[in-house]
Amino acid sequence: MHIDRLERYWIIAVTAMLGVFMAALFVSVVVFRVQLPSPVGRVDPRALAETEFATPGLSDLGAGRYDMHIVAKMWNFDLGQGKGEPAEVRLPRGAQVTFFVTSEDVTHGFFIEGHDANLMLLPGQIASTTVRFNRPGTYHIICHEYCGPAHANMVAAIIVE
């Protein structure tokens, strides 16, 4: 079978690039231990009142460590402050917060600007990430998965003092 010289070069280039991509994937998994996020637990989204998400909010564990339970629902993040309050939480500088987040109704997103926190929230699954807030400022929590007509209003804030 005859293969044109230029076509042979393209086949070699594509094969080499595929090899480079496979090597990068292998190194990221083996050397840097990059893993896909997986749910840390499961809950019945119709019975959140019977779980740790019945009273969402911030729990102080001491030594600058906190746990935060959040329920995402159309179209807000329930941070445990009750209705009518702005969806915000205040933290001291240097706080390390482990977020436990779930969705009550549809697929939502959870992104904290300026930090490496990006979760997809599915009903029935508990997603978790840990973030350290070293710089004072206001960091917005944004829903990055379209969840309905008022999706653009689904924000909250973390204020680091």
Distance CA 11, CA 14 (A): 5
| Residue found by looking up tokens 């840990």 in the block | 130
Mean pLDDT, rounded, of the chain? 91
Tens digit of each residue's pLDDT (9 = 90 or more) over 3-58 = 899 999 999 999 999 999 999 999 999 998 887 777 889 999 999 989 999 989 99
Tens digit of each residue's pLDDT (9 = 90 or more) over 121-158 = 999 999 999 999 999 999 999 999 999 998 988 999 99
Tell me whether strands 65-73 and 95-103 are parallel, antiparallel or unpaired: parallel
pLDDT grade for 116, boundaries at 50, 70 and 90 = confident
H helices of the chain, in order, are 5-30
Query: Which CATH number among 2.40.30.210, 1.10.357.10, 2.60.40.420, 3.40.50.300 corresponds to the domain 41-160?
Result: 2.60.40.420
Residue 87 is encoded by which pair of tokens? 């969806």
pLDDT at position 83 is: 60
pLDDT at position 127 is: 94
The answer to whether residue 84 scores a pLDDT higher than 60 is: no
What is the pLDDT averaged over residues 73-79? 88
